[in-house]
Amino acid sequence: MVSLAPKYRPMQRVFEALASSVRRQILAYLSHTELNAGEIAARFAMSKASISQHLSILEAAGLVESERRGQFIFYRQVPDNLVNALHGFVQEACPKGRPLKRESAALAEKGSRTDNR
């Protein structure tokens, strides 16, 4: 009988955000550069309104942040947050001795734990 984490916990929001391939693709675009909402929307066969909604979900999950500059609103990844969330998860869910687990453990050792779980 585990008491499950409430829905609003950071970890939950992150994984819900990552469940959509559209949102994962947006994150991939933002891994190289920042882009404004229109530039992002132009890369999908979907209305701007829908992309805007996806962006707000990514933002609520703490994975991206936005900044208005003049007429445009630019989006960029929040550094570390995605890594930290995945790291926290891998910590609990990956079998011991697996590569990513070992790497994450090493990472944890070094400090800099923001603990997104």
Partner DNA sequence: TCGTTGTTTAGGAAATTTGCTAAATATCGA
Partner DNA sequence: TCGATATTTAGCAAATTTCCTAAACAACGA
Q: Which helix (H) or strand (E) holds 66?
A: strand 64-69
Smallest separation (angstroms) from its own copies to the CB of 94 = 6
| Distances from the Cα of 11 to the Cα of 2, 16, 39, 49, angstroms | 16, 9, 28, 26
- The 3 state secondary structure assigned to 19-46 is CCHHHHHHHHHHCCCCEEHHHHHHCCCC
Q: Taking each helix axis as running N to C, give the angle between helix 10-18 and helix 48-60, from 0 to 180 degrees, rounded to the nearest 10.
A: 150
Report the residue from 37, 60, 73, 107 that binds its own copies according to the rule CB under 8 A.
Answer: 107
Binding of residue 44 to its own copies (CB under 8 A): yes
105 interacts with its own copies by CB under 8 A: no
Is 115 a residue that touches its own copies (CB under 8 A)?
A: no
Amino acid at 111: G
Tell me how far apart the alpha carbons of residues 100 and 41 are, in angstroms, rounded to a whole number.
33
Among its own copies, DNA, none, the one that 73 touches (CB under a kind-dependent 5 to 8 A) is: DNA
Which residues make up the interface to its own copies (CB under 8 A)? 1-2, 4-5, 7, 11-12, 15-16, 18-19, 21-22, 24-25, 27-28, 31-32, 42-45, 77, 79-80, 82-83, 86-87, 89-90, 92-96, 98-101, 103-104, 106-107
Which residues make up the interface to DNA (CB under 7 A)? 16, 19-20, 22, 36-39, 41, 45-57, 66, 68, 70-73
